[in-house]
A = this chain, B = another copy of it.
Amino acid sequence: MTAIALDAMGGDDAPAATVRGAIEAAREGIEVALVGERSVLEAELARSGGTPPGVRIEQASDVIEMGEHAAIEARRRRDSSIYVGLSLVRRGEADAFVSAGNTGAVFATALVVLGRLRGIERPALGALLPVPAGPTLLLDAGANAECRPSHLVQFAHLGSAYMATVVGVPNPRVGLLNIGEEPTKGTPVLIETHEELAKSDLRFVGNVEGRDVFRGAVDVVVADGFTGNVMLKLAEGLIEMIFTEMRSVASSSLRTRLGGALLRPALREMSTRLDYRKYGAAPLLGVEGPVFVAHGRSDAGTIANAIRTAAGAVERGMIAALAAVPTERLGSRD
């Protein structure tokens, strides 16, 4: 049975959301280790009707707060729920780690506790974008603000292997986020990356622009963590803005209120499809173990989704697939 270590203290609504999400996932046969302060978690479990089969607590007395920016310090805090949870994976006592907590702290601690896959210089955060034509993986979504061409080439390999193995997209199309289609567009780093990707055995379709991404032009979008993070947050803010505007438009007159009422179920379904919480969690790609970061604002349902996503990735052999990329193709200096 697949066992997931869950950072029970991570996220805006922890531990209520994490404990309830764990209970939901455990009902489907996934084992969950709730990592955090035992007394707090026992109280929360009691409030939720007791500890169900498949759920256990792993004690961790320290919590790294969302607002803490000292990711480098965080990785030394061996009693934190993040450190303890990742150590369970390291020791084989859990198959994957899920956290809705401080992403920078998860990233820095995973590097120390699990280490990097061979040939990977910088692990990246992958985010699945809700593209109507099919989920599209954006990486790096924010872990590395500045990247060298070799980092971006490694992201392309990691993303391609993840989409093929975990999401089940055969032979994924890989695009390089740029400001024009021509190979000579963009910064010197992007021009060199384009050359390297064109020589690779990946299904590289060339540069893609912001507008192509939501048209489903590719399965994997490669970008540095700065651009990827700006993109992700812009998309989130823009989708939110449009739905807010739509609600306001639909309540502006009797006619539109009636129209809105008739359309509501369909629009709600559409809004769910475009919700970043749909996929539950973003994989940290390039570390020696499955690690997933959920949105800080995750509710219980999103946490349960994150646990399902992590369990599915384990069952499909995520790490073996990522580790199977021959090192010489990664252009690593390691």
Q: Tell me, yes or no, whether A227 is within 8 Å of chain B by CB.
A: yes
Residue of B182, B215, B246, B260 touching A237 (CB-CB under 8 A): B215
Residue of B187, B215, B263 touching A241 (CB-CB under 8 A): B215
Chain B residue numbers with a CB within 8 Å of A146 are 187
Q: Tell me, yes or no, whether A232 is within 8 Å of chain B by CB.
A: yes
- Contact B226 A145, beta carbon cutoff 8 Å: no
Interface centre among A132, A241, A255, A269 (most CB of B within 10 A): A241
- Contact B230 A252, beta carbon cutoff 8 Å: no
A residues with CB within 8 A of B = 69, 131-132, 142, 145-146, 177, 179, 182, 184, 186-187, 209-215, 225-227, 229-242, 244-246, 249-250, 252-253, 255-256, 258-264, 266-267, 269-270, 273-274
Q: A38 vs B133: C-alpha distance in the bound complex, in angstroms?
A: 47
Interchain nearest-CB distance for A253 vs B (Å)? 8
Q: A232 vs B227: C-alpha distance in the bound complex, in angstroms?
A: 12
Q: How many copies does the complex hold?
A: 2
User: Could you list 13 A-B pairs, sorted by A, with CB under 8 Å?
Assistant: A142-B179, A145-B179, A187-B226, A209-B230, A210-B236, A211-B234, A213-B234, A214-B240, A227-B230, A234-B234, A239-B242, A249-B266, A259-B263
Residue of B215, B237, B249, B267 touching A270 (CB-CB under 8 A): B249
**Across the two chains, which residue of chain B brings its CB closest to A263?**
B259
- Contact B69 A242, beta carbon cutoff 8 Å: no
Interchain nearest-CB distance for A309 vs B (Å)? 23
Interface centre among A215, A231, A232, A259 (most CB of B within 10 A): A259
- Contact A266 B270, beta carbon cutoff 8 Å: no
